[in-house]
Chains A and B, each alone.
Chain A
Amino acid sequence: AQSVTQLGSHVSVSEGALVLLRCNYSSSVPPYLFWYVQYPNQGLQLLLKYTSAATLVKGINGFEAEFKKSETSFHLTKPSAHMRDAAEYFCAVRIPGGTALIFGKGTTLSVSS
């Protein structure tokens, strides 16, 4: 069965600091993994996706994630946080046989000046 676990429900960083949001997955097949961002009262926007090609995936807004099979991890990073990065971030794994997703519980990122 597919599942994802996001470690840390809330992460706080200073503007300009490194952002690290953690995600571990469980999958019975080679996984397709995604990171989405959600701003208040809005839908989800895709940041990046891993589809079994390069293990280091670059996304929008300067975010990237590295797929590590040995650690069953897909952590999201950004070298330098901006105030506009403050939002809810969700890691997700695709359910085999379609495009439906299983999401983690989310991590709230706060950025202080």
Chain B
Amino acid sequence: DAGVTQSPTHLIKTRGQQVTLRCSPKSGHDTVSWYQQALGQGPQFIFQYYEEEERQRGNFPDRFSGHQFPNYSSELNVNALLLGDSALYLCASSSATGGGTEAFFGQGTRLTVV
């Protein structure tokens, strides 16, 4: 079992650009959540996808959008990048069935905006 995989591991973007991050959930999981972790802070919930729809959303602007594919993988898109978007972006997967109490995290994508 490969667990939750994220790509790329690192990337550098210029202010104003757009970026797409990708996540493949753990085998058997159908729900994907995205978090932003700024340096020295705890992860902050961005949004959650289930059945290809956004089910829950945290307090993030519309510049942050996502998508879930039929195979349950997911993308996080950020438009008009700001310097403050520099962070570790974490993907977590879980199962909506069987209780769904536990989320498994990927290693994250380190985004640097210059």
Q: Which residues of A contact B (CB under 8 A)?
A: 32, 34, 36, 42-46, 49, 51, 90, 92, 94-95, 97-106
Contact = CB atoms under 8 A, between A and B. Distances in A.
B73 interface: no
Given A51-B101, A95-B56, A101 B45 contact: yes
A98 B42 contact: no
Contact of A94 (B31, B90, B101): B101
B112 interface: no
Contact of B105 (A45, A100, A102, A106): A45
Which 8 A-B residue pairings sit nearest by Cβ, starting from the closest? A103-B42, A43-B105, A44-B105, A99-B94, A43-B107, A100-B48, A105-B42, A98-B56
B105 A99 contact: no
Given A90-B42, A104-B42, A99 B103 contact: yes
B100 A43 contact: no
Contacts of B33: 99-101
B101 A102 contact: no
A97 B56 CA distance: 8
A44 B90 contact: yes
A92 B103 CA distance: 11
A46 B105 CA distance: 9
B56 A49 contact: no
Contacts of B41: 105-106
